[in-house]
């Protein structure tokens, strides 16, 4: 099973140690939030130089505050600094309260914006020239103006609804999700993105599924759900996540989280793969007063499931 972890840490030294340990433990990837260290691409470049093969991806970089050409140049620079393959770029439009209230930008057409953004960004990450005329972007990037990545940088789109899933399948290499449970993956995400990729003759897309995970005794399952409900409550207030939770037959992030004892959590992770996930981005959260013990127990199971992946 391809299992990744969150990639954030409180400082650079801890981040590098964490990346090295995660690679040694057999995890296939680390996924960095857009706020990681102020710029996750810097953190990924440093971690990439200190590791050999673990994939380092963003989950996700927001599209609205960064022009796609600028992001392509930044990604090319980070990939070059890493000095090895393994950088993956996950992008998404974020949410209306962030884009409008924090950035002061219009969120009137997030679907169109992301569609055009990806059509510009994807070829640039392949080192191709781009001439694009859209409603939001008009781009002329040719010759020396075009970024020159050291190799192709895979592009994933944060897609939680049909339009962006079609965009991800048509133009990108796949999707990276958050709060999509096995039912949402099976009923919505996998069929929609796969159909789009098939229709345009693209390879089978990656489906990287991110969910909170905690291994607990049976007696602590209710506490684990309550803890998840408190820690991840904000996601339940955002329309984009509300839609994907509804597609999974739940209404609260607490019910999307993966909790249970070792056998139950392993079964739930396997159910994600059966539903269509190619990768699981497991985000451990702690339950109870013994925070270090809780974290260690969850990581131990994930480590047990991770080695030997293809």
pLDDT tens figures, 248-295: 999 999 999 999 999 999 999 999 999 999 999 999 999 999 999 999
In a domain, 171, yes or no: yes
The C-alpha atoms of residue 147 and residue 141 are separated, in whole angstroms, by 9
pLDDT band at 9 (very low <50, low <70, confident <90, very high): confident
The C-alpha atoms of residue 305 and residue 110 are separated, in whole angstroms, by 37
Residue 194: pLDDT over 70: yes
Using CA atoms, how far residue 218 sits from 192, 231, 250, 252, in Å, is 36, 20, 21, 21
Pick the closest to residue 227 from 281, 289, 270, 292 (CA basis): 289
In a domain, 289, yes or no: yes
In a domain, 291, yes or no: yes
Residue 93: pLDDT over 60: yes
Say how many C-beta atoms besides its own lie within 10 A of residue 83's C-beta.
11
CATH code, domain with 260: 3.20.20.30
pLDDT tens figures, 104-121: 999 999 999 999 999 999
Question: What is the number of structural domains in the chain?
Answer: 1
pLDDT tens figures, 167-181: 999 999 999 999 999
On whether the CB atoms of residues 71 and 79 are closer than 8 A, the answer is no
Q: If you average pLDDT over residues 190-206, what whole number do you get?
A: 98
In a domain, 310, yes or no: no
In a domain, 156, yes or no: yes
The whole domain housing 237 covers 3-305
pLDDT tens figures, 19-53: 999 999 999 999 999 987 789 999 999 999 999 99
Output the pLDDT for position 206.
98
The C-alpha atoms of residue 274 and residue 12 are separated, in whole angstroms, by 36
In a domain, 152, yes or no: yes
Pairing outcome for strands 155-157 and 174-178: parallel
Output the pLDDT for position 307.
72
Output the pLDDT for position 110.
97
Q: If you average pLDDT over residues 135-149, what whole number do you get?
A: 95
Output the pLDDT for position 36.
78
Which DSSP string do the residues of 141-183 spell out, in sequence order? E-GGGS---SS---EEE---SHHHHHHHHHHSSEEEEES--HH
Output the pLDDT for position 310.
38
Average pLDDT, the chain: 96
Q: If you average pLDDT over residues 127-138, what whole number do you get?
A: 97
Output the pLDDT for position 309.
39
Residue 308: pLDDT over 70: no
52 exposure class (CB count in 10 Å sphere: 0-12, 13-18, 19+): exposed
The C-alpha atoms of residue 253 and residue 8 are separated, in whole angstroms, by 21
């Amino acid at each position: 099973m391809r299992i990744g972890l969150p990639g954030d840490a409180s400082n650079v030294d801890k981040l590098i140690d964490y990346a090295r340990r995660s690679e040694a433990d057999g995890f296939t990837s680390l996924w960095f939030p857009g706020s990681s260290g102020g710029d996750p691409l810097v953190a990924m470049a440093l971690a990439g130089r200190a590791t050999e093969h673990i994939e380092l991806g963003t989950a996700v970089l927001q599209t609205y505050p960064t022009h796609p050409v600028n992001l392509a140049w930044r990604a090319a620079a980070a990939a070059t600094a890493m000095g090895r393959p393994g950088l993956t770029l996950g992008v998404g439009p974020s949410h209306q309260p962030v884009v409008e209230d924090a950035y002061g930008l219009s969120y009137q057409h997030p679907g169109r914006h992301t569609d055009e953004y990806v059509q510009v960004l994807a070829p640039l990450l392949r080192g191709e020239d781009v001439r694009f005329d859209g409603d939001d972007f008009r781009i002329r990037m040719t010759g020396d103006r075009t970024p020159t990545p050291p190799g192709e940088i895979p592009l994933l789109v944060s897609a939680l609804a049909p339009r962006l899933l079609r965009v991800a399948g048509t133009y990108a290499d796949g999707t990276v999700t958050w709060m999509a449970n096995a039912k949402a993956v099976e009923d919505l995400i996998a069929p929609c993105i796969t159909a789009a990729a098939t229709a345009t003759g693209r390879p089978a897309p990656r489906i990287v599924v991110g969910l909170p995970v905690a291994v607990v005794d049976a007696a602590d399952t209710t506490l684990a759900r309550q803890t998840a409900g408190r820690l991840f409550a904000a996601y339940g207030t955002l329309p984009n996540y509300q839609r994907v939770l509804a597609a999974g037959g739940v209404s609260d992030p607490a019910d999307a989280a993966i909790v249970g004892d070792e056998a139950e959590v392993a079964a739930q992770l396997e159910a994600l793969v059966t539903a269509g996930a190619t990768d699981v981005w497991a985000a451990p959260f702690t339950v109870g007063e013994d925070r270090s013990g809780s974290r260690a127990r969850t990581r131990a199971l994930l480590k047990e499931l991770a080695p030997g992946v293809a």
